[in-house]
Amino acid sequence: MSATSQQAGPDVRSEAGLTIVRYEKDGRTGYGILEKGRVTSIEGDIFGEFSAGDRHFPLDEVVLLAPIEPRKVYGVGMNSHGYRQYRTGAEFPEADPAEPPVFEKSGSAITGPHSRLVVQEGMSGISGSPELAVIMKRRARGIAEDEVDDYILGYSASFDAMYPEVAIRDMLAAKDFPTSCPLGPWIKTSLDTSDLEVSLSVNGKVYHQGFTRDFIYDIPRVVSFLSSRYVLEPGDVVLMGAMGREAHVDGKSADFVDRFTDLAKIRPVAYPKYQPGDRLVVRVQGVGELPFSVTRAD
């Protein structure tokens, strides 16, 4: 179906915010604005000035891609009181001055909605967590916490995958591999992130569930800290960390698994493993659903 035409509109941003998608249609990719089941093309730069274009498509006639192609993905480890206590058996002091534990993934880790998370040969499966993702709008270096909002384009849903076997010896390598970071389905430019529900369903069953109110480090603190260590570029993604207490192993509660208090003591069994053929859905309240499948390489 061909796009209908009308005169390009004015700047479309408002206090209510936008839903920005990245899509493919007839072999062409672009950014668009999703509203009432219709995608309108964007003219201009989503990180700067842009307006509504003159091409319009029903949502079910486009292929949704990962909403951004970042240079880098940054993550925060165990960034919730409930999740940290569940994994370690220890409370995290409210006033603890420690820096957020951060890690990096390469841009090639990103994949989109309805995509494949590919398990490499030799790995027994993947583990991971549903997370709120923050998308950067401006170049940021050394910014204060009260400046962070001005540097954020919006928010999305994500899954931070890893290989438990590799994590025993090298947590960074365990997390950074192609397709290890499904992201989507779109970007919400305005969202109250103070108390959002974030969950993961596996084959229709909820495996993880938590709330952003449980963050140890909030978004301003995380982004400000990252900007003190790295140069954040437009489109870079910040994963806000796992939350919630629930986990499963082979369909059963993982409560029986011994706690660990040191990364060197992590046992692969301490994590649920999702296998080729499993269908996962991340849900972030106020954003939407991010479905993807776990597969083996072709």
Average pLDDT on 16-42 reads 96
Lowest mean pLDDT among 46-55, 83-92, 289-298: 83-92
Tell me if 212 sits within 8 A of 183, measured CB to CB.
no
Residue 145 has pLDDT above 50, yes or no: yes
What is the pTM assigned to this prediction?
Answer: 0.86
Cα 220 versus chain centre, distance: 17
Q: How far apart are CA 214 and CA 255, in angstroms?
A: 20
Average pLDDT on 270-291 reads 91
Tokens (6 digits) for 226: 């990252």
Q: Indicate the residue type of 91.
A: E
Residue recorded with tokens 């093309």: 41
pLDDT of 243 reads 77
Residue 134 has pLDDT above 90, yes or no: yes
Band the pLDDT of 298: cuts 50, 70, 90.
confident
Residue 146 has pLDDT above 80, yes or no: yes
Residue recorded with tokens 């206090």: 15
pLDDT of 183 reads 99
Domains in the chain, CATH or no CATH each: 19-64 (2.30.30), 72-296 (3.90.850.10)
Instruction: Please state, for a pLDDT cut of 70, what percent of the chain lies above it.
Output: 80
Tell me the per-residue pLDDT of 75-97, one tens digit each, with 9 for 90 and over. 998 788 766 655 555 555 554 54
Tell me if 54 sits within 8 A of 42, measured CB to CB.
no
